[in-house]
Structure 1
């Protein structure tokens, strides 16, 4: 059980420590700055540069995370024969008959309503303003906005599902039953999204719980999909669709308020 927590933690930390310094080094080199200059002596960067670096770091971190998961899974499958990696991560057709993935497509049109209703209700119950004051940085170029959308809708679902419903699910299912595996991977998924930024003064003392609680139904549903279909791509599809629906709702909400 300790390994189930340590594996995603180590991968997340490693991806962050690779992506962050790499973006800083390349960005400084592009601007003609010495990346090894002490922090107190560094010139102030333009706000557009800082915003772009934030988006690029997020996107690169997901890419690095996906590569680390694939490497770890490949190491775990060494000597397992042809197709062992695909079976471990849920890319191969399951040996035992499972639910048809096509029959589960009914979930897609219903999910945005379910997820948005749960998110808003949970945020209200915890006295957390859902999306209030949150918007895309005005300093982001159109290219960076496109990269941010790619990160939210494609890169994050792909990397996170590879990690949680791929590698961690495979490790958990080796000694846990289906229900316990679904719950454990869901809890790890939610804990990995706990916000580390300080809460505003007016926020509830439970605001730190808002992020993981709003994700709990999604996390449990993704685990159920992984078990029910035996495949990973339905999880990636629902995760991507959920992210897109929620972001579209938030941006549309603010457009209406303005």
Structure 2
């Protein structure tokens, strides 16, 4: 059975380009759907669940709703962020397992049947050194875009110790795990059907970066692009997803430690 990517490359150049463009457009739609559904489920769950816990009618008119304190609002926002990643991971695992019940682990690079394509010491070296470059690149990008990165940043005083612990778990474990399942798992596998390894790394990196557009505009996507490229390269080089999750989480932790370290601002 011929590989789909080989078939696409052997076709007429114009047709191959058209197929690749359509396939990439499909990846964009898939990412948007996954993120939108996960966000909607998280918002609905927190809105209804938190209201019930607080003794508020979830369907009460907005003008009649009692005011919520800063602690409750911060807690709800954190709960939405956490549940969004939980729902995203469940959606990716569920849909892939439903479509490919026998090969879902291999599709998501969670199968240990094939040997790791990278030596352990080289992987360890990447994991240790990359966060340094990541911090330098993110801070340099923020300066180039005129963003007030790491200036006066601190955790909300309204967050309890439990909430801070949950937030740290979200940043270091939940978000990296869910995002890597989507990007370097499902999207990487889908892109490899029609694209070369290099093109797959580029496309998934672009999708990952653009998915992080925020109030900073393109500053954040640009700041995350090298990390996204490295994660894609690790996914291709090792054939496993766990190194991507580890590097993603470790980079997040290093950046958070840098931002919150006393005297950084």
Q: Give the TM-score of the pair, scaled to structure 1.
A: 0.90
Note the C-alpha offset of 1:113.
1.2
> Is the partner of 1:115 in helix, strand or coil?
helix
Question: Which structure 2 residues correspond to residues 164-243 of structure 1 after superposition, within 5 A?
Answer: 164-195=183-214, 197=215, 207-243=216-252
Equivalent in 76, 99, 117 of residue 99 of structure 2: 76
1:25 aligns with 2:48: yes
Note the C-alpha offset of 1:257.
5.7
Note the C-alpha offset of 1:96.
7.4
Q: How many angstroms apart in 2 are the aligned matches of 1:105 and 1:96?
A: 17
Q: How many angstroms apart in 1 are the aligned matches of 2:118 and 2:169?
A: 30
Q: How many angstroms apart in 2 are the aligned matches of 1:97 and 1:137?
A: 42
Does the C-alpha gap of structure 1 residues 11 and 97 become closer, same or farther in structure 2, counting only changes over 3 Å? closer
> Is the partner of 2:217 in helix, strand or coil?
helix
Residues 94 and 231 in structure 1, CA contact (< 8 A), matched pair in contact too: no
Q: How many angstroms apart in 2 are the aligned matches of 1:143 and 1:130?
A: 26
Q: Where does residue 203 of structure 1 map in the other structure? A: none
Q: Give the TM-score of the pair, scaled to structure 2.
A: 0.88
Note the C-alpha offset of 1:16.
0.6
Note the aligned Cα RMSD (angstroms): 1.5
1:256 aligns with 2:263: yes
Note the C-alpha offset of 1:243.
0.3
Note the C-alpha offset of 1:133.
3.3
Residues 20 and 57 in structure 1, CA contact (< 8 A), matched pair in contact too: yes
Does the C-alpha gap of structure 1 residues 163 and 93 become closer, same or farther in structure 2, counting only changes over 3 Å? same
Q: Where does residue 137 of structure 1 map in the other structure? A: 156
Residues 90 and 231 in structure 1, CA contact (< 8 A), matched pair in contact too: yes
Q: Where does residue 59 of structure 1 map in the other structure? A: 82
Equivalent in 136, 146, 150 of residue 165 of structure 2: 146
Q: Deviations over 1:176-230 (max 9, x none)?
A: 00000000000000010000x3xxxxxxxxx411000000010000000000000
Residues 94 and 230 in structure 1, CA contact (< 8 A), matched pair in contact too: no
Residues 147 and 219 in structure 2, CA contact (< 8 A), matched pair in contact too: yes
Equivalent in 65, 68, 74 of residue 45 of structure 1: 68
Where does structure 1 lack aligned partners over 5 or more consecutive residues?
198-206
Moved over 6 A (4+): none
